[in-house]
């Protein structure tokens, strides 16, 4: 039995008509993400929430089986249980872990083996970046083969990169057609997360249009960045993608998740994003099925905040 995934919908150019004021976007993103009340115990709670929404990531050229295993151990057991016993309900302790680990396709089998040994395969997803990450500058045939390889190796989520050259020349139907093929390659074997690489799209209007065509093509998530661009996840870009998600839901009744990636390094960064989500899409979006952080360094700051917060109340 397959997993529940979004449907492919017909291409509809009417959904791409949009115009943004940058000053207005910046102002709205700032006001919607402000949260001055998060201190003390509340900050620890928000930090743990961010942890449970994180795709813990390693995408380095020198990744090996051993460091992927370390990543999986850290995603599964970020804190020693006795640290949290006094501040977290005992029934919740087994659930304090990352949402997923994210690796290259060649390292998926290593992650699968490690999570199986840790008995976490049913709790922590394996995400693989695919389709010629991070540039996407490969043949469609090889990109689709990479999706299949990653899934056969054990991935349950595929983070694809869209074809930015097609987007930059305004061939939105071309972008849509490629993502449809990627959705079909995933089928109901894996969730499809589409990376827009917002830093290379040229305008907020293009971010919105890219979001829309990916959602029409059946994306389960839209994701800001590869983390390799000069500009990665920013709150105004996130707000544009949220506007697209809201309009898409209104027009189609289909629900799509959001994943900021690259640039979310501190608990304060994460709280700003979670506040933005709470004030726009609502609290029900703050669950791993609909919202993720793509991060490698965020867990370091989460650990610091949690340990310091607990120590102050010891």
Which residue, among 217, 229, 146, has the nearest Cα to 177 in the 3D structure?
A: 217
Mean pLDDT of 209-223: 98
DSSP state at residue 237: H
> How far apart are alpha carbons 134 and 146 in whole angstroms?
13
Question: 146 with 186: CB under 8 angstroms?
Answer: no
pLDDT at 95: 79
Give the number of other CB atoms < 10 A from CB of residue 307.
14
Helix (H, G, I), strand (E, B) or coil at 156: coil
223 is catalytic: yes
Give every strand in the sheet of 125-130, ordered side by side: 257-259, 221-223, 191-195, 157-161, 125-130, 100-103, 54-57, 293-295
State both tokens at 225. Answer: 């960045």
pLDDT at 309: 83
Confidence of residue 43 (pLDDT cuts 50, 70, 90): confident
pLDDT at 42: 82
Mean pLDDT of 106-116: 98
pLDDT tops 60 at residue 93:
no
Helix (H, G, I), strand (E, B) or coil at 61: coil
Helix (H, G, I), strand (E, B) or coil at 191: strand
pLDDT tops 60 at residue 92:
no
Report the helix count and the strand count for the chain, using DSSP H and E.
12, 8
Which residue, among 265, 250, 263, 260, has the nearest Cα to 292 in the 3D structure?
A: 260
Alpha helices in 121-234 (DSSP H): 140-153, 164-168, 172-186, 204-216
Beta bridge mates, 54: 293
Q: Per the residue annotation, which of 120, 193, 209, 259 is the catalytic one?
A: 259
pLDDT at 40: 63
Which residue, among 239, 225, 223, has the nearest Cα to 273 in the 3D structure?
A: 239
Confidence of residue 138 (pLDDT cuts 50, 70, 90): very high
Q: What is the gyration radius of the CA atoms in the chain, in angstroms?
A: 19
Give the number of other CB atoms < 10 A from CB of residue 10.
6
Helix 204-216 with 172-186: angle, nearest 10 deg: 40
Which residue, among 186, 212, 196, has the nearest Cα to 259 in the 3D structure?
A: 196
Question: 98 with 78: CB under 8 angstroms?
Answer: yes
pLDDT tops 70 at residue 162:
yes
Q: Per the residue annotation, which of 4, 113, 223, 249 is the catalytic one?
A: 223
> How far apart are alpha carbons 144 and 283 in whole angstroms?
35
Give the number of other CB atoms < 10 A from CB of residue 65.
13
Mean pLDDT of 27-34: 94
Cis upstream peptide for 68 (omega within 30°): no
Mean pLDDT for all residues in the chain: 93
What the chain holds in terms of domains, given with CATH numbers, is 13-312 (3.20.20.70)
**Range with the lowest mean pLDDT among 111-115, 220-224, 232-236?**
232-236
Question: Tokens 């083969």 identify what position?
Answer: 145
**Range with the lowest mean pLDDT among 36-50, 117-131, 147-161, 254-268?**
36-50
> How far apart are alpha carbons 66 and 230 in whole angstroms?
29
Mean pLDDT of 209-222: 98
DSSP state at residue 102: E
């Amino acid at each position: 039995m397959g997993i529940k995934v979004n449907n492919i919908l017909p291409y509809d150019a009417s959904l791409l008509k949009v115009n943004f004021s940058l000053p207005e976007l910046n102002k709205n993103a700032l006001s919607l993400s402000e949260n001055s009340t998060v201190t003390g115990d509340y900050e620890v709670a928000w930090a743990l929430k961010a942890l449970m929404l994180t795709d813990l990531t390693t995408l380095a050229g020198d990744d090996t089986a051993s460091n992927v295993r370390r990543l999986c151990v850290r995603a599964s057991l970020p804190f020693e249980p006795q640290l949290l016993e006094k501040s977290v309900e005992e029934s919740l302790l087994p659930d304090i872990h990352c949402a997923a680990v994210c690796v290259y396709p060649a390292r998926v089998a290593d992650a699968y083996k490690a999570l199986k040994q840790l008995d976490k395969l049913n709790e922590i997803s394996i995400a693989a970046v695919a389709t010629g990450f991070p540039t996407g500058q490969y043949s469609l045939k090889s990109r689709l083969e990479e999706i299949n390889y990653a899934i056969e190796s054990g991935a349950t989520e595929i983070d694809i990169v869209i074809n930015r050259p097609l987007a930059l020349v305004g061939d939105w139907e071309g972008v849509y057609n490629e993502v449809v093929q990627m959705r079909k390659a995933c089928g109901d074997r894996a969730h499809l997360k589409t990376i827009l690489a917002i830093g290379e799209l040229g305008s907020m209007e293009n971010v919105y249009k890219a979001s829309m065509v990916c959602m029409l093509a059946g994306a389960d998530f839209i994701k800001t960045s590869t983390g390799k661009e000069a500009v990665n996840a920013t709150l105004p870009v996130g707000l544009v993608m949220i506007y697209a998600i809201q309009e898409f839901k209104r027009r189609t009744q289909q629900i799509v998740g959001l994943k900021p990636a690259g640039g979310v390094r501190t608990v304060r960064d994460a709280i700003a994003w979670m506040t933005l989500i709470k004030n726009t899409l609502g609290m029900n979006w703050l669950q791993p099925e609909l919202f993720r952080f793509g991060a490698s360094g965020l867990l370091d700051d989460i650990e610091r905040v949690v340990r310091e917060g607990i120590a102050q109340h010891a």
